[in-house]
Amino acid sequence: MGAYDLVVVGGGTAGLVAAAGGASLGARVALVERDKLGGDCLHYGCVPTKTLVRSAKVAHTLARARDFGMKPVRVEVDFPAVMERMRRAVETVGAHDDPARFERMGVELYLGKEARFESPRELSVSGKRLKSVSVILATGSHSVTPRIEGIEEVGYVTHVEALGLERLPSSLVVVGSGPIGCEFAQIFARFGCRVTMVCASPLPLPREDPEIGEALLRFLEDDGVAHHGGFVAREARAEGGEKVVTAYDADGQAVEARGEEILIAAGRAATVGGLGLENAGIAQVSTGVMVDEYLCTSAPDVYAAGDVTGKHLYTHVADYQAKVALGNALFPIKRKADYSVVPWTTFTDPEVARVGLTERQARERRDDVKVYRYGFDDLDRAVADGEPNGFAKIVTDGKGRILGGHIIGPDAGNLIPEVVLAMRRNIPVQALSTTIHVYPTLSEVVKRAADNYYREKLFTGRNRKLLSAFFGLKRRLLS
């Protein structure tokens, strides 16, 4: 029987961070992974999809050659070459998750093995018993398929199978309008595929500020994506060499979306099957494994991190949770997980980045909400780059404390951290305005939005009258 300080189940982002961190601290660590190290992010998520996003943007830019003073270019997408580039990128980035690297750190790997709890501190792994002081569950999540009559007979792909395609389908029906659905819809549309989105929410990215969703919808439609918002997919059938999805709105009105292929991007669920959670007394909730504020499950000394917790399904959150769970699993002093300031980005073009409350959420909680905006179409660098799409929106309370930040525009994911830091350190919006930003850069969009705080405070209402009186007095003294 092997005895460990820590056994980590799952080799995605959370599992790798926890295992590497534990080994670096001198703990004896075992890592169990039934497939490949790297998890969904490396093999089926962040890395491959962002590679495709870039290729799609290049195709889109070439199609806009005339906008940049070039002669028109006939864009021909070599889809197999695009997919090969994607695989090379995954291979290159995957070097960080090479099993040999973790073995050199001192992590004992059980690859291609299934783990099952026998008790809170004992797991069976392919017939071998592993006993450990603590366990961290990091088994991630997987795509779920909604109830659509006939979908199994007709056939469909998730983002996982879509990344394995070798031929570009002529047309595609995307069911779902979250980050995965929006990114894939735009990617395939820019590659020349006819794309139709069907989603229950009226706007894409339903978790975002409606103003953001409205703007993104316009950009997707500009790329040729047909959108049926407020329709729930209920039936699927094959007809005339196509796959047909029938969806209904709240009044029972139906729409049909036709395509060569169907992509299901309608949510994810925690991966917990076969783990024997009941043997360890680990409780589950609808979103995943139940954890407390210290990321401990209902079983003593069994912690969880990443998507399996059902909390903020993002790689950067998995990384953060892994560090919290690791410290709590190994040491007596416990730290709470803090989700008060969590940013995220959807990598459409333009990108959508967010942190904190939407305007609607803020107004539901308080009555002194202020909103400051600035458009990329009025930002010098964005105009020069030919990327004048979108805006920045900062939501504050009456005293200038930032409650939320929203950016839809070029490179939004790299612009939002300034707002994230301000929220994290309680820096007021006026400080963003008085901070010198390099000109001309896209980062000025945050500053320009914050500048509106002073325009409102100094140049309107009573303050404007006082300033006018002051300047008038100065003129009279000089005359």
Q: Which residue ranges are tagged as binding site for NAD(+)?
A: 176-183, 267
User: Cα(32)–Cα(44) distance, rounded to whole angstroms?
Assistant: 20
User: Cα(316)–Cα(14) distance, rounded to whole angstroms?
Assistant: 9
CA atoms within 13 A on the CB side of 175: 32
What count of residues does the chain have?
A: 479
User: Cα(184)–Cα(335) distance, rounded to whole angstroms?
Assistant: 38
Report the Cα–Cα distance between both ends of the chain, in Å, rounded: 96
Token output for 475: 């003129």
Do the beta carbons of residue 198 and residue 245 sit within 8 Å? yes
**Which residues, including other chains, have CB under 8 Å from residue 453's CB and lie 6 or more apart?**
370, 372, 396, 400, 429, 430, 433
Please name which of 339, 293, 295 lies closest in space to residue 314, comparing C-alpha atoms: 339
Neighbours of 327 (CB within 10 A): 19
User: Cα(80)–Cα(88) distance, rounded to whole angstroms?
Assistant: 12
Please name which of 214, 200, 202, 162 lies closest in space to residue 183, comparing C-alpha atoms: 162
Do the beta carbons of residue 226 and residue 196 sit within 8 Å? yes
Phi, psi for residue 400 in degrees, rounded to 5 = 90, 5
User: Cα(29)–Cα(135) distance, rounded to whole angstroms?
Assistant: 10
User: Cα(116)–Cα(124) distance, rounded to whole angstroms?
Assistant: 5
Annotated binding residues for FAD, as ranges? 50, 139-141, 307
HEC per residue, 162-203: HCCCCCCCCEEEEECCCHHHHHHHHHHHHCCCEEEEEECCCC
User: Cα(20)–Cα(27) distance, rounded to whole angstroms?
Assistant: 10
User: Cα(346)–Cα(128) distance, rounded to whole angstroms?
Assistant: 42
Do the beta carbons of residue 111 and residue 96 sit within 8 Å? no
